[in-house]
Each structure stands twice: as structure tokens, then as C-alpha cells.
């Protein structure tokens, strides 16, 4: 298949925009010239192909002569029932649909061809279904000879193996993908070695051996643009460099120290060598320290057994035992310390290794979607590392297993074992699941009713996996409900595998559901475009949650996650949670009463930047970008909304004193204390600076340049001269405060012209004017009269946020704001002259090039004012747009792990917390860690009296005080209930943010005593309780006779 090309570009930046923040522009360029051969198009091979095609390599060749079988439908999303021919041919066209820029072809498999001929010309060769060690050795040797990177991987039941050979000498440019660390320098000692301290004792994040460069330093001449090595790190905020600064002039201020990333040379052994001498394994689970070595022996023995049996897999316990024996005798296995291993016979109770090898051998012929999804993400990223030379590869063996997902019956006597019983297999797409987990578990998966929240990257991967697993296909309660209010954008297509270019603009939920139904026609799906939150509880009501078996989050924001977590706690539902950030991914499983909920731990809130820093004292590019975003919002959105609000409220009728007063009152209510500022913006837009042509917009932009980058800076320096000192005698412009320099407009400076053009275009779009290339910017700019700057006396500029607040209060007390408002209103044009007028606001869109062109250049000009290192549009988009970097490999990985936890959840009768796994992965390092979820925190409540007197109640967040079948209960009866059952006095009762009862408000309490709980809630909240709402949540504050508070769970009050 011939791939599309991109004219005048190296790659389609809009398509790969989120991925660019992971791999970088250079990495994307390298991928665009890479050719990958994938040998073996089973489920794993298809997953790897999908991931590298979405990533945007130049070409992918598929090689597999194996005929399509019904078993492929359990793990391969690119084959269909009824496909004929080889797996390579069957998958080619569907894989090619993923990315029109990637040439996807099926290459013929000829057994007579030497591996050298097969691998010649490829950047990477990935083998996904090898049956013999000899085949792997020959392919790897051919790859080494041709200069290709070799990656081999297998998914055998709930076990997986991955091997990487990047050759004897492979240069990695960036081993971890993290952005270079940078800090503002407070001081540098005149010593040997020189000690560097960060401003305000901030953590610099640097380590011994790192390289750093300096920039913008004032003083200590010759330091800028030089490279130094860190020789020691005395504290988190200081470091020493290999510099003798004893003879240098003293450091003054304003310097930045920036880490310079170092590359790394990778030296790998051949497969032949590494098979016998594997070295250290990449460990994933510290609860399974010996498992990688066991798996190494097991996979080697399995391949040897298959070689001896014509490529077949073991099918009986006896054959599985033969594989296990192969790990102990003649199998060339190694023990955990690298020596020969001999465990003796296999009589008696099975050892941990025996169980693992038996499970590997017995389940090897089953390939399931959760495993291929996880391993496909890992292997896909390894292939991309070979293409881009970015991130450290696996060195060299990685083994993974999910042995804990197998039911205990798997190891039963062969006559009854779920794995060995041929009678349990039905010859359909679900046989691999029956083989591993038994028909009971496979049937439970098909009968699940789940709520999938989000249809983005993770949501698409989840739906794909569920379709292959059959989740919900036999549900009696609706199957899978999916909701997502977003619509498909082009940038989604590089990682959201269920969408195509023709789907751009369509709803994500319904499009994903339709694509999932194509994967499995038996899927029961309901797609909605609703946000989850209090406003949609009429749709997602008590009956809806009561019908569910669980909730799966595929969200991208914490607030929605917390909301769904609260629903899981209230309704006692398990929750599957996951998230990604570039090459990092995490998963969490939440089980009622067994684990802590998602809300038990959370990241600290993001630090906000002080207002005075943004307005007057920026020192990082993040500050100037936020300032530019705010300026964009004020100039092109807020002021336009203000004008439209005025036009709607005043100009639609005759303007009178009463209508003006009503409008001003409305402004005060909407924006307290800002009504005058709002009116002044309206006057500026309609009177002072209203354009009638694009030339007027250019002139306006030129004046804005003068105000923002020259006059305001000059005024700041007038108030705080460069030699200003504080009351303590210290320089004012020191530490985090950088003395700025006003910019003089220069028509020969491209950045200055870019600002004017970008601002003029946006201004023109506000007023419905058409920008034209025919306008000679330089000519128009030459005609603009720019008033000379004259310092204004009496202007107060705040040095801190506290001063800013005080200044605002003083300003408010100086003049009559209402009188000023009326004065501005009188200056506005009469309503008749504005009939039919409406401006067009610009809602900032990080993917709109015209918006980012302005924000980036505006930020960089301000950075130039303050000598802050500038950022290109690409990096500015990441920071200003608060973009979450994303790549398909990580998404596939977390979706696979989540689905393995789902398999455990359906076995709830035998579920133990030690079987559950919360995972974290960083594919860049690479790093994998798995751990048990934490149990919920217990609170011991000592019940002082009533029916439960003397009881010690160890309750958790999963517990509640359930008041059932008493819908007519009054507030008085609720007080009596707590006194009678617990011997406690109710002192306060609340529902959400509303206080329903307080013992301190005697008058209101007396009035509300006879009210039913439902009436009380409706009266206080002034909102009716939804007819479908079966339960109310009440928070009770209780105290004993000694006035000591006794903490109890929330109240779950049943209405019907």
C-alpha cells in the first residue's frame, strides 16, 4: 500500500501533536524514515503493528503465512470471522486504515529464504510468535549482520516474554525523556569548586555527574554558555561544579542553570549468548523476585518442546510436565544466580516454580487480549526506541505474568481441570478464555454490566479489549454504557485506535461504540454524550448504578475521577482506574470494603503563581506564557463578551437611567468590584479603538506592543529603578526578581512583526473584518503615531500580592465608582447606532495555530523583556495549552493491565487483596512496578449508649448508617434514632453544602423538627429531589454526654 505524503512538511504536526511532546520533533522525523518488519500476526503481532503504525513510522511489513482461525478473534482486533487466507493478508488492510501516512504491506513467507534475505533493509525486526530457539537465534544473527534491531516477544496464556538486541553499540540520545531541569541561580561562590545555590532554596533536581550550562548571568564573567559537570550535591537546593571561581568577579544575579541531557551507549549480547547467560532481568513485581528466572527457563523449555513436537503446544498435564522437566534436565536452564538448576523430581506438592511452569505450558496455546494489549504496548515502544534512539531499551530480558488471575481449579486433577478439560471448549472466539479461566469465569465476563466513563485513548483501548473478551455480550442489564461529551479531533487519531479521519467532528462515544460492535457483533453498548456530575444524576440515577457490576474510568481530569469514586463508595461498586502521561502509566483497582478508594490518596494541588509575579516579576517561561494567555483572554475574549453583554442589555431597548442602573447592578452581581473595569473595556472597544478596517487592527496591535513591552516596563523601572534597594539595604532586583529592559519596536525584527500580525488577525476576527495579505504591514506601521512615553507619577505597583490587595482597596475608596460608571455610560454611542451589531469572541484553542501564534510570540517578547530563555511554538503549546503528552503504547499497556484486574474481579468469591495489583510503568526508562492496593483506613468508634452501647465499631469509608424503609421519618425522629441506637446527640446535619440542622440555631431547628427528611432537604436547598433518587446522603455531627465528638460514617437515607 502506498502511503500519503505531507507537502512541504516532514510530518503532519496536527496528527502527531500529542505524541510530539513524548518523542520530540527529531524523534518523529527519524520515525518517518523507519521501516519495521513484524513476523507473526497473532494478537501480539497485531497490537505491536497497531502501535507503531499509529506512531507514524514510514512503513510496516507484515509476515505470517498462518491461516486465520477462530481463536484469533480472542486477541486480534484486525481479523474477522470469515476472513480467509493468511493472518498477514487478513490484517493488512485494516491496519493500513489506522494511519494513511504509513505504508503497510504483507510480505510473502518463503521457508526456503534465509533470515538474512528476510530482514535486509529493515530498521527493526519484531518476532511475535516464534516456536523455536533456533529460529530466534538465526533471525537475531541476521539482524546483527544487516544492522537491524531485533525484538522478540511472546504471549503464552498469562505469561509473556520480551527480548531486545540493539546490537553491540547503540547510541541512545535521551535515556529518560524528561525535560532538562532548570533553576534560577541565587548565588555562586568564588571558590574551588564553585557552589551554586538555587533561588529561595528551591529544589534543583540535579544529580552528581549531571552536566549543566549557564545563561543570563550578571557578574562572574565568562560563565554564560559554558558547560560544567556537577561534582557533588550538598543539599537539594545547592550543587558544586568543576569550576575554580576563586579568581572570577562575583556573581550578581539573573542566571539560569540548565541541565544538559547526556546520551548513553547500549551494548547488548546476541540472543544466542543471552539465552544461556541472561544476566539481570528487568524486574516488574517485587512479590515475584524469582519469577523472571523461572519464566526464562520455562519459555526456553517450552520452545524446545514445541520444536520436538512440530510446533504444537502442550495440551495435557502430562505434556505440561514434560515441559517442566525440560527446565531441570537438559534444558540448559539457569538458577536465580546464573548457575545450573536442578530441582529433582516432581512428586508431591507442586513448588512455586512447578506451578508457574505448568501454568505456562498448559495455557501457552491461549492468547488473550489483556496480555497482548499490555505486552504490545511494551514491545511497540521498544520498536520505536530503535527507530528514534530515544529512551533506554530493555536490557535485555523482560518477563511478565498474571498467574494470580488463574482460578484454583486450573491446577486441579487433569480430569477436572478447567485448562485440560476438552469438554469446556466450544470452538468459538472465547475458547482461549475458557482454556485459562474455565467456562464459569468466561461466562461471567460475558455477563458483566459496566459503565465506561470516557471514550478517548484509554476508553478506545478498553472497548477494543472488551469486545475481544466478550464483556457484556450476554448481560441482562444493558451490557456496557459509555459516555463522553467530547467530539473527535485530528490529534486524537494518533492514539485512539477506533477512530478514522472520516470520524473527525463526530461524537466520541457513539463512534467508539459503533467500532466496537464491528469487532464483536454481540456487544451490547449504549453510547451517551453526557458529563458525569451532579447535573446528570437524573440520567445516571440510583437504578442505573444498581444495575452495574462495576465502573471503569477512562478520564483525563481528577475532579471527574473523584466524583466517580464517590459513586463507587456510595453504591459499593468496584472501580478500575488508570491514567497516562507520555510514557508513564498507572492503574489502580478499587474493591468495596477490601481496598482504599481512589480519593484516599491524591497528588498535592498544583502550585499557583502569585499575581504580582505574573504582572511584574516573571522569571520563567511558564510565567510569561500564563501572562500571554491571560492577555489573550482579556483582549480577544473577555472584552468581546463584555461588549456583547452591553449590546444585549442596553442597545436592544431605549437607553434610560433605569435601564442603565439595572445593567450596572447586573454587572456588580456578575463581577463584584469590577463593574467599572468592564464598562471601560466596553467603551474602549466601541468608542476609543473600534476598527473599521484591517489597517486599523494593525495600528491597534502596534500600540498594544508599545504599551505591553515598552511603556509598562518603563513605568515599572520608573517605580523601581535598577539600583533600587529594599528597606534592609538589599538590592530590590535580586533573587527571583529580574530587572527588565523595555523593547523598542523594530520593523526589521521578525518577532515584532509577528506580534503585530498575529494580534491584528485576532482583532479583525473579533469585529468580522477580513485580514488581507495585500496590506503592507511596514507601510501601515510607519503611519502609526505612537505617543512618547512619559512616566506617570503616583502610580503604585505592587511588589507582593498583599500590596496588590491593599492597593485595590485604596483605589476603591478614592473615588465614587457609581459616578464613574455613569460617566462611562454617557460616553457610549446611542443604541440606534449599534443595532444588529455583535462581536465574535475568540475562545482560546491550543490547537488553533492563529491563537498559538499570538500566545507564543507575546510570551517570547515578554521573556525578552526579562531575559528569560524563550520557547518555540511547539513548547509554548505544551505549556500554555496544559497538554497531557500521550502515545498509543502507554495507553495500550494500561488498558491491558486494567483488563487483567477485571478478570480477577469476576472471581469475587475467591478474591484476596494480595491477588490484586496496582501498577506503574515508565516505558522510557523502562520501569515497571506492581503492588497490592492498600486496605481502607479504619476508624474505631466507641458507641456510648443506646441499643449498641459499649460496641466498638471499626468502620471504613465503605461503611454507612443505613436508614431503610422509613421515608416519612422526620428530623425529630432522626434525632431520636441517634439517641436510641447510639446514645448520641445530633448537633449538626448536612446534605452536600447545605446545613439542614444545627443545634445552635434553635429557632430554625424548632421550625424544621416536624419536617420529613425529604421535605427538609428540598426546603433548605430550594431544589426538588429527583423522582428517581432512591437515596439521600446525609452527614451527621454527633456528640456524647460529655460533649465529645464521636465520628461515625455518613447516613444513607432511603426514600423509596
Nearest to 318 by CA among 382, 362, 369: 362
Cα separation of 206 and 409, whole Å? 52
Among residues 870, 896, 704, which one has the least CA distance to residue 781? 704
Which residues have CB under 8 Å from 745's CB, separation 6+? 702, 705, 706, 710, 752, 786
Of the candidates 63, 164, 217, 612, the residue annotated as catalytic is 612
Give the DSSP letter of residue 600.
Answer: G
Backbone angles phi, psi at 944, to 5 degrees: -80, -25
Three cell numbers written together for 701 = 496591535
C-alpha cell at 115: 533470515
CB 351 within 8 A of CB 343: yes
646/682 Cα distance (integer angstroms): 8
Tell me the three cell numbers of residue 453: 466513563
Give the closest residue to 1039 by CA, choosing from 1048, 1030, 1031: 1048
Give CA 942 to chain center in angstroms: 43
* Dist CA 632 CA 669 (whole Å): 25
> Which of 652, 797, 771, 835 is closest to 719 using CA atoms?
797
Task: State the Cα–Cα distance between residues 872 and 24, nearest whole angstrom.
Answer: 13
Nearest-CA neighbor of 523 among 414, 448, 427? 448
Q: Identify whether the C-beta of residue 388 lies closer than 8 Å to the C-beta of residue 174.
A: no
User: First CA to last CA across the chain, in angstroms?
Assistant: 62
In 3D space, the residue among 897, 957, 888 whose CA is nearest the CA of residue 576 turns out to be: 897
Answer left, alpha or beta for residue 690, where phi above 0 means left and psi between -120 and 50 means alpha. beta
Per DSSP, the three-state class of 536 is helix
The three cell numbers of residue 740 are 527588565
CA–CA separation, 135 and 129 (whole Å): 11
Distances (CA, A) of 380 to 45, 61, 194, 393: 9, 14, 45, 11
Specify whether 612 is catalytic.
yes
Radius of gyration of the chain (CA): 34
Q: What is the Cα–Cα distance from 106 to 805, expressed in whole angstroms?
A: 68
| Number of neighbouring beta carbons within 10 Å of residue 330 | 10
Q: How many CB atoms lie within 10 A of CB 790?
A: 10
Rounded Cα–Cα distance for residues 848 and 37 (Å): 37
- Distance between CA atoms of residues 186 and 612, nearest Å: 20
Q: Cell triple for residue 730? A: 538589599
Pair 494, 54: CB distance under 8 Å: yes
Instruction: Tell the residue number behind the cell numbers 456583547, with chain if given.
Output: 644
Peptide bond just before 219 cis, omega within 30 deg: no
3-state SS assignment for residue 345: coil
Q: How many CA atoms lie within 13 A of 555 on its CB side?
A: 22
Write out the catalytic residue numbers.
612
Amino acid at each position: 500500500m502506498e502511503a500519503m505524503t505531507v507537502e512541504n512538511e516532514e510530518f503532519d504536526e496536527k496528527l502527531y501533536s500529542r505524541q510530539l511532546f513524548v518523542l520530540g520533533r527529531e524523534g518523529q522525523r527519524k520515525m518517518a524514515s523507519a521501516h519495521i518488519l513484524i513476523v507473526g500476526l497473532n494478537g501480539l503481532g497485531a497490537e505491536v503493528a497497531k502501535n507503531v503504525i499509529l506512531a507514524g513510522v514510514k512503513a510496516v511489513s507484515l509476515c505470517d503465512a498462518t491461516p486465520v482461525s477462530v481463536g484469533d478473534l480472542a486477541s486480534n482486533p484486525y481479523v474477522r470471522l470469515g476472513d480467509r487466507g493468511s493472518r498477514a493478508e487478513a490484517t493488512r488492510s485494516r491496519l493500513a486504515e489506522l494511519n494513511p501516512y504509513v505504508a503497510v504491506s504483507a510480505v510473502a513467507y518463503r521457508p526456503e529464504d534465509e533470515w538474512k534475505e528476510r530482514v535486509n533493509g529493515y530498521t527493526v525486526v519484531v518476532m511475535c510468535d516464534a516456536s523455536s530457539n533456533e529460529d530466534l537465534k538465526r533471525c537475531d544473527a541476521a539482524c546483527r549482520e544487516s544492522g537491524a534491531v531485533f525484538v522478540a516477544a511472546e504471549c503464552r496464556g498469562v505469561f509473556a516474554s520480551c527480548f531486545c538486541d540493539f546490537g553491540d553499540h547503540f547510541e541512545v540520545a535521551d535515556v529518560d525523556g524528561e525535560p532538562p531541569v532548570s533553576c534560577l541561580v541565587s548565588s555562586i561562590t568564588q571558590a574551588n569548586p564553585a557552589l551554586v545555590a538555587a533561588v529561595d532554596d528551591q529544589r534543583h533536581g540535579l544529580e552528581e555527574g549531571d552536566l549543566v550550562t549557564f545563561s543570563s548571568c550578571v557578574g562572574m564573567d565568562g560563565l554564560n554558555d559554558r558547560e560544567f559537570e556537577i561534582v557533588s550535591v550538598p543539599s537539594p537546593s545547592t550543587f558544586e561544579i568543576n569550576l575554580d571561581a576563586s579568581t572570577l568577579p562575583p556573581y550578581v544575579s539573573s542566571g539560569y542553570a540548565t541541565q544538559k541531557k547526556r546520551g548513553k551507549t547500549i551494548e547488548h549480547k546476541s540472543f544466542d549468548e543471552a539465552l544461556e547467560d541472561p544476566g539481570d532481568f528487568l524486574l516488574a513485581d517485587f512479590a515475584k523476585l524469582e519469577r523472571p528466572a523461572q519464566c526464562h527457563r520455562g519459555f526456553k523449555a517450552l520452545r524446545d518442546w514445541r520444536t520436538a513436537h512440530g510446533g504444537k503446544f502442550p495440551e495435557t498435564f502430562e505434556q505440561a510436565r514434560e515441559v517442566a522437566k525440560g527446565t531441570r534436565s537438559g534444558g540448559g536452564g539457569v538458577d536465580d544466580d546464573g548457575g545450573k538448576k536442578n530441582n529433582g523430581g516432581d512428586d508431591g506438592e507442586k513448588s512455586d516454580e512447578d506451578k508457574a511452569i505448568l501454568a505456562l505450558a498448559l495455557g501457552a496455546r491461549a492468547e488473550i487480549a489483556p496480555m497482548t494489549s499490555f505486552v504490545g504496548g511494551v514491545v511497540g515502544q521498544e520498536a520505536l526506541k530503535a527507530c528514534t534512539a530515544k529512551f533506554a531499551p530493555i536490557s535485555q530480558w523482560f518477563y511478565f505474568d498474571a498467574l494470580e488471575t488463574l482460578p484454583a481449579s486450573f491446577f486441579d486433577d487433569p480430569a477436572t481441570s478447567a485448562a485440560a478439560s476438552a469438554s469446556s471448549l466450544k470452538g468459538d472466539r472465547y475458547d482461549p478464555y475458557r482454556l485459562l479461566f474455565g467456562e464459569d469465569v468466561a461466562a461471567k465476563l460475558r455477563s458483566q454490566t459496566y459503565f465506561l466513563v470516557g471514550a478517548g485513548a484509554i476508553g478506545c483501548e478498553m472497548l477494543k479489549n472488551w469486545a475481544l473478551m466478550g464483556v457484556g455480550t450476554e448481560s441482562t442489564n444493558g451490557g456496557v454504557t459509555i459516555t463522553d461529551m467530547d467530539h473527535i479531533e485530528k490529534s486524537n487519531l494518533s492514539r485512539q485506535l477506533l477512530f478514522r479521519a472520516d470520524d473527525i467532528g463526530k461524537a466520541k462515544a457513539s463512534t467508539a461504540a459503533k467500532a466496537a460492535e464491528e469487532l464483536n457483533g454481540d456487544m451490547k453498548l449504549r453510547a451517551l454524550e453526557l458529563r458525569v456530575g451532579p447535573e446528570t444524576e437524573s440520567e445516571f440515577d440510583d437504578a442505573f448504578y444498581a444495575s452495574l457490576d462495576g465502573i471503569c474510568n477512562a478520564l483525563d481530569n481528577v475532579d471527574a475521577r473523584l466524583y466517580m469514586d464517590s459513586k463507587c463508595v456510595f453504591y459499593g461498586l468496584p472501580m478500575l482506574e488508570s491514567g497516562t502521561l507520555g510514557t508513564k502509566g498507572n492503574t489502580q483497582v478499587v474493591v468495596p470494603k477490601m481496598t482504599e478508594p481512589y480519593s484516599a490518596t491524591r497528588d498535592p494541588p498544583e502550585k499557583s503563581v502569585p499575581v504580582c509575579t505574573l504582572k511584574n516579576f516573571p522569571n520563567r517561561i511558564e510565567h510569561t506564557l500564563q501572562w500571554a494567555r491571560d492577555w489573550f483572554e482579556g483582549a480577544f475574549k473577555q472584552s468581546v463578551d463584555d461588549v456583547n453583554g452591553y449590546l444585549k442589555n442596553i442597545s436592544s431597548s431605549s437607553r434610560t437611567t433605569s435601564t442603565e442602573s439595572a445593567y450596572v447592578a447586573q454587572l456588580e452581581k456578575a463581577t463584584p468590584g469590577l463593574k467599572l473595569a468592564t464598562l471601560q473595556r466596553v467603551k474602549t472597544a466601541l468608542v476609543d479603538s473600534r476598527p473599521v478596517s484591517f489597517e486599523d487592527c494593525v495600528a491597534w496591535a502596534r500600540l498594544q506592543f508599545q504599551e505591553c513591552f515598552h511603556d509598562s516596563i518603563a513605568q515599572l523601572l520608573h517605580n523601581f529603578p535598577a539600583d533600587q534597594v529594599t528597606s534592609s539595604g538589599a538590592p530590590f532586583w535580586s533573587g527571583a526578581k529580574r530587572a527588565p529592559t523595555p523593547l523598542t519596536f523594530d520593523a526589521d525584527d521578525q518577532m515584532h512583526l509577528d506580534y503585530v500580525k498575529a494580534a491584528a488577525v485576532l482583532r479583525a476576527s473579533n469585529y468580522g473584518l477580513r485580514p488581507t495579505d495585500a496590506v503592507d504591514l511596514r507601510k501601515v506601521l510607519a503611519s502609526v503615531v505612537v505617543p512618547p512615553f512619559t512616566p506617570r507619577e503616583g502610580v503604585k505597583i505592587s511588589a507582593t500580592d498583599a500590596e496588590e490587595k491593599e492597593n485595590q482597596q485604596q483605589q476603591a475608596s478614592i473615588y465614587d465608582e457609581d459616578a464613574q460608571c455613569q460617566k462611562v455610560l454617557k460616553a457610549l454611542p446611542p443604541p440606534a447606532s449599534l443595532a444588529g451589531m455583535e462581536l465574535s469572541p475568540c475562545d482560546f484553542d491550543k490547537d488553533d495555530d492563529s491563537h498559538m501564534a499570538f500566545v507564543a510570540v507575546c510570551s517570547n517578547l515578554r521573556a525578552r523583556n526579562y531575559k528569560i530563555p524563550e520557547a518555540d511554538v511547539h513548547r509554548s503549546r505544551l505549556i500554555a495549552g496544559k497538554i497531557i503528552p500521550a502515545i498509543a503504547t502507554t495507553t495500550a499497556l494500561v488498558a491491558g493491565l486494567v483488563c487483567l484486574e477485571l478478570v480477577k474481579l469476576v472471581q469475587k468469591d475467591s478474591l484476596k487483596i494480595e491477588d490484586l495489583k496496582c501498577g506503574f510503568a515508565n516505558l522510557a526508562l523502562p520501569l515497571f512496578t506492581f503492588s497490592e492496593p492498600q486496605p481502607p483506613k479504619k476508624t474505631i468508634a466507641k458507641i456510648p449508649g443506646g441499643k449498641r452501647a459499649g460496641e466498638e465499631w471499626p468502620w471504613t469509608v465503605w461503611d454507612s448508617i443505613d436508614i431503610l424503609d422509613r421515608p416519612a421519618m422526620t428530623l425529630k425522629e432522626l434525632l431520636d434514632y441517634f439517641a436510641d441506637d447510639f446514645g448520641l446527640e445530633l448537633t449538626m446535619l448536612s446534605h452536600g453544602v447545605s446545613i439542614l440542622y444545627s443545634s445552635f440555631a434553635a429557632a430554625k431547628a424548632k421550625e424544621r423538627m416536624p419536617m420529613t427528611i425529604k421535605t427538609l432537604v428540598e426546603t433548605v436547598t430550594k431544589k426538588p429531589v429527583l423522582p428517581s433518587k432512591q437515596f439521600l446522603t446525609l452527614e451527621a455531627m454527633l456528640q456524647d454526654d460529655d460533649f465529645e465528638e464521636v465520628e461515625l460514617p455518613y447516613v444513607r437515607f432511603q426514600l423509596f
